[in-house]
Amino acid sequence: MGVGLKVAIIGSGPAGMYTAGALNSKCPGCQIDILDKLATPYGLIRTGVAPDHQTTKNVSRAFDKIMENENVRFVGNIGFGSDISLTTLKSLYDVVVMAIGTPKDRELGVDGEDKSGVFGAQTFVYWYNGHPEFRDAVPHLDIKHAIVIGNGNVALDVARVILSTEEEMIKSDLVDHAGKMIFKSPIETVRIIGRRGPEHAQFSTKELSEFGNLSTAVTYSDPTLIPDDFQSENAKETKVVNNNLKLLRGYSANKTDSTKRLLTLDFLLSPVAVLGDETMSGVRFELNRIEHGKAIGTGEYTDLPCDLLVTCIGYELKNVDGLPVEKGIVKNIDGRVEEGLYVVGWAKRGPSGTIGTNRLDSQAVVDRIVEDYCNGPDTTKEGADGLDDYCTANGIASVSFNDWKKINEAELQRAGSESPRRKFVRKRDMLTLVHEETQ
């Protein structure tokens, strides 16, 4: 057994945390440092999962337990590629595991998508969830018509949050700066648009059903596009899709001439251009038909007015510090990248699946690490001590798990009576708090 194997996991999202948990039980005696560029742990649990879906965020309690292990450390506020390089990490640790997710929005690839008013989902979601790098990403929501492109749960989250009221968000941790804009926005319509049909959408039934509870918006979908029935070889898929179609049929019976704001679920439309001058004024779509499950353009077009466009069409990884990136992920074979370097989570397999999907995936990669390393010679690497020396020498004010607990406690204490927490959204405020508390 390689005694005291030194492991650095880069990224403290679900994939990184499940990796740490599995390593801890399968490779006893190993020393694990979990680095993150943020001062807060757990990745998209904090910065992605919708602020009104607090139950989903409860998984962080299991991650807390992993962090509390003696041989596990959180080292926040240290960015891979900016503060520390792969070469340095490999010199300090036997094994480096990349768990940095896919932090870039995929582009639509249409003319005009650089106009003001167009946002990728990551940017928009990070903004309303208080990711410090995106605090000021959305300048205003003084808009009438929004379009959300994409047919997954993130599109549903974005549309629901845009249309939410203060009362609906009272039990959420929606950040102050976003709440202020969202609650006073004069928005009238939100369209969620997919290029294929309703039977191809990747919505979960629970999230789709939440549109029935919006207090100031009515939901509608064109009944002529909703099939009566859906059959697939996969029984689970058949059930989910038919439940969704049933919900959509219910929405299609809603009256759209009410005084409420309007949310529509539109299908068979592909964006071809963002219209307007510097600021967008609409989006041109091509109407599609479906052939063998694929969306085929019909050559007919429609222009829809829009002053906010959020694209929820997936994410990718961009090149960071010489990592071998191909097709938006770290090039790997079953998690192995090169000697001593592994990858897990969305950075390994792309942005799909739920939080739980990362658990089995990380466990499988840990099996490879155990196979490759845990029966080898004892370690000679410096690990944690070496990283601390590196941080001191380079003026990096790292954040420990105890520091995070102070930030967490302060966020809980300053929350309103019904809200779970009031997040800090500036890194400097978090670091000041940690610094003052330790003096």
Among 2, 8, 9, 13, binds ligand FAD (CB under 6 A): 13
Options 33-41, 230-238, 268-276, 369-377: segment touching ligand FAD (CB under 6 A): 33-41
Q: How far is the CB of 294 from ligand FAD (least distance, A)?
A: 25
Find out whether 9 and 20 touch, Cβ atoms under 8 Å.
Answer: yes
152 binds ligand FAD (CB under 6 A): no
11 binds ligand FAD (CB under 6 A): yes
Q: Tell me how many residues contact ligand FAD (CB under 6 A).
A: 35
351-380 residues in contact with ligand FAD (CB under 6 A) are 353-355, 358
Cα separation, 41 vs 9, in Å, equals 12
51 binds ligand FAD (CB under 6 A): no
Find out whether 88 and 334 touch, Cβ atoms under 8 Å.
Answer: no
Cα separation, 115 vs 190, in Å, equals 19
DSSP H/E element including 98: strand 95-98
Q: Which residues of 357-376 are buried (b: 16+ CB within 10 A; e: fewer)?
A: bbbebbbebbeebbebbbee
**Nearest to 190, CA basis, from 148, 247, 142, 153:** 148
Q: How far is the CB of 225 from ligand FAD (least distance, A)?
A: 26
| 134 or 285: CB nearest ligand FAD | 134
103 binds ligand FAD (CB under 6 A): yes
| 86 or 214: CB nearest ligand FAD | 86
Among 44, 247, 268, 280, binds ligand FAD (CB under 6 A): 44
User: CA 50 → CA 32, 57, 273, 290, distances in Å?
Assistant: 30, 9, 29, 32
| Cβ-proximal residue to ligand FAD, closest one | 13
User: Phi and psi at residue 84, in whole multiples of 5°?
Assistant: -145, 145
324-353 residues in contact with ligand FAD (CB under 6 A) are 345-347, 353
Cα separation, 408 vs 403, in Å, equals 9
Among 95, 99, 190, 308, binds ligand FAD (CB under 6 A): 99
Q: Where are the alpha helices (DSSP H) in 163-234?
A: 176-184, 205-209
Among 27, 32, 39, 100, binds ligand FAD (CB under 6 A): 100
**282 CB-near residues (< 8 Å, 6+ apart):** 274, 275, 276, 303, 304, 305, 306
Cα separation, 285 vs 2, in Å, equals 58
Among 26, 54, 56, 261, binds ligand FAD (CB under 6 A): 56
12 binds ligand FAD (CB under 6 A): yes
Phi/psi region, residue 229 (left: phi>0; alpha: psi -120 to 50; beta: rest), is beta
| 38 or 283: CB nearest ligand FAD | 38
Q: How far is the CB of 362 from ligand FAD (least distance, A)?
A: 9
For ligand FAD, the binding residues (CB under 6 A) are 10-16, 35-38, 43-44, 48-49, 53, 56, 79-81, 99-101, 103, 125, 154, 157, 320, 345-347, 353-355, 358
